[in-house]
Structures are given as structure tokens and as C-alpha cells.
Structure 1
Amino acid sequence: MACLSFWKRLGRTRKTGDIDTGADGLAKCLGLVDLTAIGIGSTLGVGIYVLAGDVAKTTAGPAVVFSFLLAAVVSLLSGVCYAEFGARMHITGSAYTYAYVAVGEFIAFIIGWSMLAECIIGASSVATAWSGYLDVLVNGTFSTAISENVGTFRWDFLGGYPDFVAFGISCVMTLALIMGAKFSSLTMILFTAINFTVVFICISAGLFYIDVENWSLDGGFFPFGFAGVLKGAATCFYAFVGFDVIAISSEEAKNPSRDIPLAIMLTLLLSFLVYTGTSLILTLIVPYYEISASAPLAGAFLAKGSYMVTYLVAVGSMVALTASMLGCLFPIPRLTFAMARDGLLCPMFAHVHPTTKVPILNCIVAGSLTALTALFLSLEQLVEMMSIGTLLAYTLVAASVILLRYKPIDEQRNLLDESFDEKGATNQKKDTTDASMELHNLVKKDLTEKERLVGPREPTGASYHKVAKFTFIFAVTSFLLSAFLTYGVVSRLLPTWMKIIPVFIFAIMLVLMTVVIAKQPQSTEELPFKVPFVPILPLLSISCDIHLMMQLSPATWIRFGLWLILGLAVYFFYGIWHSKAGEEEDDDSKLNPESIADEPDVIQGNYE
């Protein structure tokens, strides 16, 4: 019994209607433009000025445009899943909150804890890149001065020298966070406008230097073959990471049911167009093998003698990095706020400043951790630690979409515990009248009669458990297939037939499980936005995310494991005992005096 009770604690879910989002919560001040600017600022960063050229030079050649297309499609699979949750749950926390409602508390904490690490590391890496780029522009003045006057680190697990420039920019961005969500969004709008202007000028100026013959030199348009395009897509995928910051801002959105899905789609579309345009112009200006690895765009225009555009590229790079860093920092105080409000972190992190309407303590802690990490670690070390938490969150969100879609309608309403008006605003819980209950029972009785002939039209407990079981098996099978594709297929010890047969078996298993899940009855409830082609699109998203996770180095998994051990200590020594969901379960388990008074009559009626 003790083990069963403990297991139930780990799987308890949170009802969105029981979460207090009243006057002392976050301010609803973000519109569609604000949300899109925050998403683009987080997504459209250093990828324009560095990633596109690096992938073109070393991995895909001019076909890098198809790498970005494949990466955009994979990101879109995750994006539509986030869009559905963002439209139906107007609560901050993004993947953490979605997992808490759909899957359970323990998984939700793991997701939230992983996202915290990714945001801190992401912001630190951008700060370090910002410092390094500025140092290059001034011919190494900062790095030389710090190394000579302060010294360098003697340990390999630290960076080469204490990066005070990265520390300083982290502190400045923290001040921007403290000023409030509206100030942050206005800053992102300004930076995004400057960034788009610079990109537009670069593409326009590049039209005067294009040479179509560059696509036919040394291997042509596909110098590395289709395998290079796929490998490049795995790298380009990380250029689209960051749109989930929009979902984290749900509670601060004025019209979340409409604006959250639109902002996510606009962010991914505009980012794809900019990445594609930059890649096309870059590979048309210079041959792919002559692209500068450290500064592709700037090097291309410098080779053509266009010094003014080169200067603009330098300015655009600094602005894009600044916006990207603010976008990485933006989710951290909101995520810790959500976890603290649910009782999984200390309550001091759930306090919102009455003037700025942001959790200031969370901003200070997030900025301090980011600044210290950027001060002591190098960019290479930080990059290795990125992305695993994001991909894990993407996987759980896709799985949560499936589970909620196949959950019985009554259980869905109990979990969500809210309705939406025509403007998408959250209303109070519905008051169920006797007449509506009678109508519900009549409809349910009618459906039961029809189910005997044509099968169940609405999901049941049995069908939901079957979906949950096969979704889990699907994820495990995807993991095994990805592991074999990553390590087994490239092995020289296995003959060809031993490489083909397991892949074929795993693929057949995935198809069969997809068919089994698809045959189960889905909820027909109307939603502000729904993921199309469920369960195919979410299952495809799960497979793609797991495969990308398998591409990460073992060192990344070890670092993630250490961070996870720290998180488990926080949860089992504090969170599991102070959880608001646990308090709600205790309150629900207490018998109502009226029900006690009625109980003898009920029992007597049963005997009669």
C-alpha cells in the first residue's frame, strides 16, 4: 500500500482551474506583435550570421536551404503541439504545465528542471558568444587585457579566462527583465526590427554579387549528397529552438487562444524565410567551400569589397545576439514562478512585484546564475550542454497532446476546469444544472446503445489506457531505432543484412503501434486550436525529437544526469511534500458532512 501511495504521488495531476492567476499574478500585457517579437528574438539569433555559413561550408553545401526546410518541418511538428496547449491552457509554464496537467507531477518537475538548465545554459552561451564577437571586432583587446592583468584558469573544465564582458552583458539583460514583460517585449520589438532591417539590406545588396555558377562548382548543389542535407538538418534544427518562450508567456497574453498559436506559426515561418534567404544569397555570392567559418556573411561581403555592408553585418550580429540572450532569460523567472506556485519550489519564488508584475527575485537569481556560468565556462563547453532539455520537453508535449486527445471528456474537463468565450479569455468553472445533467445522461445512454453497433465514439478509460501504453512503447521503440541508426548502422562489425533487418522490424512496429492508437476513439470536443492528423503528427514529432537527442554526445548526457540528480534531491526532499496538488487531493479526500448525513439513506436504498 505504501508503494502504491508513493506511486500515486508521482502521478498526481494539477487542475488548471485550481491555480490562482488573480490580481497578484502576472500582468496580461502582451499582444500578438509582442509575442511574435519575443519568439523571433529568441529564435532568430546567431543562426543567421554563423550557423547558415558553417552548415553550408562543412555539411550540406548550397543545399543548406533544404536542411533548413527539413529542420523547419520538424520544428513545426513541435510548434503545433505547443500551439494547441497554449490555446487551451492560459497559464505560464509551457511544457512544464502541460505535462503536469496531462501526464503527472514527477514528469512535469523533470521537464521544468530540464528547461531551467537549458535556459540558463542557453543565455550563458549567447553571452559568451556576444563577448567573443565583440572581442573579434576590437582585435582581441578584451581577452588580451584580462589574460595579462587577471590571469587564466588552470583547470580544463573551466574556460580560458574569466569573461567579465559576458558577465557584464548578463547583468544588463537581467535589469531589462526586472523592468517587466512589456519593457522586455518592446526591447525585443526594437532589436527584431533592427535585425530584420540588416538582413533585408544584406539580401538586397547580395543580389548585385550573385553568381549562379557557384552552385555548379566542386560537386554542384548537393556536394555532400542527401546524407549531408540530413546531417545539416540536425544542426539547423537548433536554429529554430526558442519559440516555446511564446507558450511560457500564455498567462501574460491578452488573447491567448488566438495569439499564442498565431505567434508560434508566424515565428517559425518568418525565421524559416530569413534563414532560407540568407543561405541562398550567401552560397550565390561565394562558393560554399570559400565561406568563412567564423563570420560567413561578413566575410562574403568583405571578399567583394563591400565594407559598408560588412559593418552592418557586424552591427546586426551584436543586436541579434542581444535579442537572443534576452529571449533565453525571459522564460526562467516565469518557469520558476509556475513551479513555486505549484509548491514544487520555495514559495519566495512565487512572489510577484506589485509594480512591475514580474517575480523580481527569480529574475535576479536567473541573471546571477547566467552571469556566473558565462564568467567561468567557455562557449564550446556551454554549447555541448545545450538542447537535451529542450528536446525532452518537445517530446513530452507531443505525448501530452496524444494523451489529452484520447482522455475521456469528463476527465479532460476535470483537469482543465475552464471554458473559453469568443475572445479566448478564461472564464470561471461552469455551473452544472440539473437539466444539463439530465440531458447529459440521456445523451450518454443513447451513445451507449449506438456503441453496441458501431463501437465507442467517445474515449473511455480502457481506450485511454491502451493509448497511454502504446504511446510509451512507441517512444521506447523510437529510442531503440534511433540508437541503432546512430551506432549500429555505422558499425563495421555487422554485415549489411544485420543492419537492414532490425531497421525494418523497428519501422514495422512503429507503424503498427500508430495504427493501434489511431483506431481508438478521440475526443470530439471543440478547441480554439487543434493539432491536425492526431496521432500521426505528434508521434512523428516524438520520433524526430528522440532521434535528435541520440545525436548528442555522451558528455552531454552525463552533465544532464548530474543536473537531474540535483533536481531529484530538490523534488524528493521538498517538492513532493509541499505540492499544491497534494494539498488539493487531501482536501478532496475529506468527507463532506452533508454526504455523511445522506450516506445511511443511500446504503439503505441499496439494500432495498
Structure 2
Amino acid sequence: MSQLLRRKQINEARSEHVDPQVEVEHGLRRSLGVWQLTSLGIGAIIGAGIFSGAGTAVSGGPNHVGAGPGLVLSYVLVAIACGFAALCYAEFASLIPQAGSAYTYAYATLGELVAWIIGWDLIIEYAVGNIAVAVSWGAYFQTLMKGFGLGLPEWLATDPRTARQAFAELQADPTVTGATLDAAHAWQNAPHVLGLPVIFNLPAVVIVGLITWILVKGIRESAWANTVMVILKLAILVFFIVIGAFWVRPENWSPFMPNGWNGVFVGASLIFFAYIGFDAVSTAAEEAKNPQRDMPRAMMWSLGVTSVIYIVVTLVMTGLVPWDQHGTADPLASAFSERGYDWVAGIISFGAVVAMASVLLVFQMGQPRIFYSMARDGLLPPFAAKLHPKYRTPHVTTILTGAFVAFFAAFANINEVIELTNIGTLFAFVLVAAGVMVLRWREPERHRPFRTPFVWFVAPAAIVSCGFLMFKLPAVTWERFGIWMAVGLVLYFLYGYRHSRLRPGGEGTRAV
């Protein structure tokens, strides 16, 4: 038990990153300032959560009720919960400016076993979350291409499960239209190999491959590309708000909470996906010029900006179309299509394509850096900590992460992936909040460049609010989460336990 509770000393964690003022030949390059870090946060946050997931949260789905226009309150609740968590992350980011994010924080406070658990859990947030983003990107890209009279065959732009379900709906109701009819045609028209229909999401695979290539090239190039995409998607959302405001019908906001507070709470648990990303800033700590000062600022600024945008966009979206008609993969674009303004829908679709590409970039950047930290501690094989000799990026795990995301994005159903991503992220937030309190108790005298204000209220509030949102997720999501964590524990005891650098007399060696 003492071995499982080993903690990595903060001074040791600090020694593994170089002085921000010193230019070195080895290690990750420090080239990010506060604005670039904030841009990374906004780039990671604004994506599929608002451009896609908001639709089913408003109107409801097979396994949950809809929040209706009350989704605005859902965003407020989630912003508060994430604000509590962000304050806890900010203290750790200033104290331990290392690339591992919540994994590193847990290692310094709660011990090696919990650190492994949260490191394995973060795969759900970053890699699995990117699967959902890639699928949503593919849907918007197909919509955009159709606006130009182009577009791929439907069997090359959807997943098998969605196509099969849509075909069953078409057989039960021949009058179905829109996205359901398109997906049903995919099942009908797909070629067959060995009797099985060939159906996969080609656009999702292509965009993941392109993002992976950019990330291997270097952090400066990645940050520049992200900044450009963030400016574009913010401009598109402002366009949506300004144009949509002219066609808002206040009667569409009534009833405001068609399913009461239960709908609002369920909506909050679903659209939590829209806020995932501020913590991705912490994975770039070893590439920040002044992490102790800039990391907390970037986290809080990115969360504040996106919260305001989400609330205003949701008000306009639900004012354009009755709440029960938003259950599409592209709710912002379809809100204008329903009113006959296809040209506006086309512009919104372009914005969504840009928005989700930036989310893919930031999350694809974060996952390899978590692997990098875990391998450096001996919990993963040394190859995961290898850096490209020219670009100084963790190229091996960047490519492996890209291959993993691309493969599953080709066949995955977006709703199931989003729910799994939500529970993984909420769990990480709970552990980080607990870690802040543990470290305050163990080392109260330690200098903290940023201190979480009212920590004995904020940290428990983060745990309670995030735990409540986890409780609202479907039972099947809990089952899948349990299976995922069980697999992770098996891998830890087979490899990480034996090779940990902190194991007395262990085989683990520090990777370079």
C-alpha cells in the first residue's frame, strides 16, 4: 500500500522543466505567451459542445429529456462548476508548471495509484473526446459541401450505427426527412464486402490526419494555426448572434423550462462537453514562457469569454426555432435552414468546421504531452517520452494518438462518445479539487504563485457540483467508465507498478 501511495515531490517535478529564461537544446520549446495560452483555451472550449451537442441538450433524446430554452441556465450552472475547478487547476498550474496536467497534480498530492488512474482517465477527455469532435466536424463539413452542390456519398460520411438506426426509422415512418433520411440512404446504398456494408466517416479521418501532421511539425506552428482558427470562429459566432437577433421570436422561449429543473440539470450534464478545454491549457505548461504567471490567467480568461458567448448564442438559437426542433447534429446551421436562409446556414457551417478543427488541434496536442509526462515517470514505456530530433515534439505519441482517434472516429456514434468524455473529465476535476485541499493541509507553508481564493469553500464546491453532474449521466455511461478504469488498473499493475521511477529498487529509468 505504501508503494501505491508514493508521492512525487513537488521540487522534483519542478526540476523536470527548465528555467523559462534559458534556451536549451533538449526538452519542449518554450514559446507561448499569455495570449497564445488563452487562445489555446478558447480554441479547445468552443467547438462541438455548442455547434453540435447543444441541439440534443435543448430538444432531448432517446435517453434523456430536453432542457428547452432553459439550457441557458444549464450553461450558467456548468460555468460555475467549471469556475470552481478552474481555480483549483490554476493553483496547481502555477505551483507545478509541468506538461502532465491533472496527472502531475495528483502524483504530487494523492499518490502514484491515483495519478495513474487520472492519467488513464484523461485519455477519455482528450483522445476519446476528440473522436466526438472529429465526428461532428465531419457532419458540418458534409453540410458545407452540400451547400456548394458537392459532398461525399452518405456511406462515406456517417457511422454504421447511425445509418442502421436511421434505416429502421425510415422503414417505420417513410416520411422522415433531413439528416435521418440521408443516413438511411447510407445504409441502403453502401457497397458490401463479405456481406457487410462499408460505412465510415472519411472526413473525420482526413481532418485528424491533417491535425496530427501540424502537431508533429512543432508547437509554434500549432499555436499560430490555432490562433487563426480562434479568430475566425469567434467572428462566425458574433455573426450568428447579430444576424439571428433580427429573427428571434420571443414566443419560442415559452415554456422556458419545459421539463422543469430536471431538464436543466440533465442538460448541464450533457453540455458539460462544451466547457472541456480550459484545463487543456495546463498541458502546455512546459512550453509556456512564464507558466507561473500566465497559466492561471489563461485558464480564467478563456473560461470567462466562452461562458458569455455560450449564453448569448443559446438565447438566439432557442429564439429562432421552437425548442423541440433542435435535435440535429448542426443546430446552429439548421436554425437558419428551418427559416429558409440557407446562405446563413452555409456560413455557420464554415464557422463550425473551423471551430472544431481548432478543438481537434488543442486536444491532439494535450494527449501526447500527458503520455510524455507519464513515460518520464516510468509508468509508460520510454518511447512515449521521445522527442523529435528536429521539431522537439513528442512525435511518436502524437502519431499514435492521431491513429487511435482517426480509427474510432471513422465508426463511432457521437452521442455515446460525448457522454463518456463528460464523465471522464468530471472525474478529473473532482480529483484535482481534492488534491488542492490535500496539499494545503500537508504543505501549508509552501509558496504558491497563485492561491485559490476561499479554498475550503471553492474546492468542496467543485467536488460537489462536478459529482452532481456525474450523477446525472446515464447508467450505461457509468458502466463503460467502470470498464475503462478497470482496464487501466490492469495495465498499471502489469507495467507501471514495476517500472515506476519512484519504486524502491525498481526497474524504471528516466526517459529522455
Please tell me whether residue 280 in structure 1 is matched to residue 282 in structure 2: no
Name the CA shift for 1:154/1:271 in 2 (closer, same or farther; >3 Å): farther
Kindly provide the CA deviation profile for residues 428-467 of structure 1, in whole angstroms up to 9, marking residues without a partner as x.
xxxxxxxxxxxxxxxxxxxxxxxxxxxxxxxxxxxxxxxx
Name the CA shift for 1:145/1:122 in 2 (closer, same or farther; >3 Å): closer
The residue type equivalent to 2:456 in the other structure is: P
Q: Which of 174, 192, 211 pairs up with 2:249? A: 211
Q: Which of 222, 227, 237 pairs up with 1:189? A: 227
SS at match of 1:364: helix
> Displacement, 1:107?
0.7
Number of the residue aligned with 1:151? 192
Number of the residue aligned with 2:377? 342
Number of the residue aligned with 2:355? 320
> Displacement, 1:80?
0.6
Please tell me whether residue 112 in structure 1 is matched to residue 110 in structure 2: no
> Displacement, 1:137?
4.2
What CA distance in whole angstroms lies between the structure 1 residues aligned with 2:371 and 2:120?
9
Q: Is the 8 A contact 1:246 1:260 kept in 2?
A: yes
1:68-467 equivalent positions in 2, closer than 5 A? 68-138=75-145, 141-144=152-155, 148=189, 150-151=191-192, 161-215=199-253, 217=254, 219=255, 221-291=256-326, 293-407=328-442, 412=443
Name the CA shift for 1:30/1:151 in 2 (closer, same or farther; >3 Å): farther
SS at match of 2:67: helix
Please tell me whether residue 10 in structure 1 is matched to residue 12 in structure 2: no
What CA distance in whole angstroms lies between the structure 1 residues aligned with 2:220 and 2:400?
20
TM-score (normalised: structure 2): 0.84
What CA distance in whole angstroms lies between the structure 2 residues aligned with 1:118 and 1:387?
7
> Displacement, 1:198?
0.5
Number of the residue aligned with 1:45? 47
Number of the residue aligned with 1:560? 481
Q: Is the 8 A contact 1:151 1:161 kept in 2?
A: no
Which of the pair has the greater relative contact order for Cα pairs under 8 Å at 6+ separation? 2
Number of the residue aligned with 2:164? none
SS at match of 2:437: helix
Number of the residue aligned with 2:21? none
What CA distance in whole angstroms lies between the structure 2 residues aligned with 1:345 and 1:279?
42
The residue type equivalent to 1:50 in the other structure is: S
What CA distance in whole angstroms lies between the structure 2 residues aligned with 1:55 and 1:176?
33
Number of the residue aligned with 1:528? 449
> Displacement, 1:381?
4.1
Kindly provide the CA deviation profile for residues 339-360 of structure 1, in whole angstroms up to 9, marking residues without a partner as x.
0001111112112223212111
Name the CA shift for 1:292/1:162 in 2 (closer, same or farther; >3 Å): closer
Greater CA drift, 296-305 or 234-243: 296-305
Name the CA shift for 1:131/1:304 in 2 (closer, same or farther; >3 Å): closer
Q: Is the 8 A contact 2:131 2:405 kept in 1?
A: yes
Gaps of 5+ in 1: 1-6, 413-522, 588-608
Name the CA shift for 1:236/1:144 in 2 (closer, same or farther; >3 Å): closer
What CA distance in whole angstroms lies between the structure 2 residues aligned with 1:554 and 1:229?
18
Number of the residue aligned with 1:464? none
TM-score (normalised: structure 1): 0.71
Name the CA shift for 1:153/1:123 in 2 (closer, same or farther; >3 Å): farther
The residue type equivalent to 1:8 in the other structure is: S
SS at match of 1:352: coil
Name the CA shift for 1:302/1:136 in 2 (closer, same or farther; >3 Å): closer
What CA distance in whole angstroms lies between the structure 2 residues aligned with 1:86 and 1:47?
25
Q: Is the 8 A contact 1:153 1:160 kept in 2?
A: no
What CA distance in whole angstroms lies between the structure 2 residues aligned with 1:150 and 1:249?
44
Number of the residue aligned with 1:416? none
Aligned-CA RMSD value: 2.6
What CA distance in whole angstroms lies between the structure 2 residues aligned with 1:361 and 1:384?
28
> Displacement, 1:181?
1.6
Number of the residue aligned with 1:25? 27
What CA distance in whole angstroms lies between the structure 1 residues aligned with 2:306 and 2:419?
24
Q: Is the 8 A contact 1:123 1:326 kept in 2?
A: no
Number of the residue aligned with 2:177? none
Task: Tell me the number of residue pairs that the alignment of Structure 1 and Structure 2 aligns.
Answer: 461
Name the CA shift for 1:404/1:284 in 2 (closer, same or farther; >3 Å): same
Name the CA shift for 1:164/1:77 in 2 (closer, same or farther; >3 Å): same
Name the CA shift for 1:246/1:317 in 2 (closer, same or farther; >3 Å): same
> Displacement, 1:395?
0.9
Q: Is the 8 A contact 2:43 2:229 kept in 1?
A: yes
The residue type equivalent to 1:233 in the other structure is: A
What CA distance in whole angstroms lies between the structure 1 residues aligned with 2:74 and 2:358?
24
The residue type equivalent to 2:54 in the other structure is: A
What CA distance in whole angstroms lies between the structure 2 residues aligned with 1:136 and 1:586?
53
Q: Which of 458, 461, 467 pairs up with 1:540? A: 461
The residue type equivalent to 2:71 in the other structure is: V
What CA distance in whole angstroms lies between the structure 2 residues aligned with 1:111 and 1:321?
25
What CA distance in whole angstroms lies between the structure 2 residues aligned with 1:303 and 1:392?
38
> Displacement, 1:566?
3.1
SS at match of 1:582: coil
Q: Is the 8 A contact 1:71 1:237 kept in 2?
A: yes
Name the CA shift for 1:580/1:397 in 2 (closer, same or farther; >3 Å): same
Q: Is the 8 A contact 2:155 2:200 kept in 1?
A: no
Name the CA shift for 1:552/1:77 in 2 (closer, same or farther; >3 Å): same
The residue type equivalent to 1:226 in the other structure is: W
SS at match of 2:153: helix
Greater CA drift, 20-29 or 52-61: 52-61
What CA distance in whole angstroms lies between the structure 1 residues aligned with 2:507 and 2:201?
50
The residue type equivalent to 2:335 in the other structure is: A
SS at match of 2:410: helix
What CA distance in whole angstroms lies between the structure 2 residues aligned with 1:397 and 1:121?
20
Q: Is the 8 A contact 1:74 1:544 kept in 2?
A: yes
> Displacement, 1:72?
0.4
Please tell me whether residue 65 in structure 1 is matched to residue 100 in structure 2: no
Q: Is the 8 A contact 1:74 1:237 kept in 2?
A: no
What CA distance in whole angstroms lies between the structure 2 residues aligned with 1:25 and 1:171?
25
> Displacement, 1:251?
1.4
What CA distance in whole angstroms lies between the structure 2 residues aligned with 1:392 and 1:13?
20
Name the CA shift for 1:150/1:120 in 2 (closer, same or farther; >3 Å): farther
The residue type equivalent to 1:402 in the other structure is: M
Larger Rg: 1
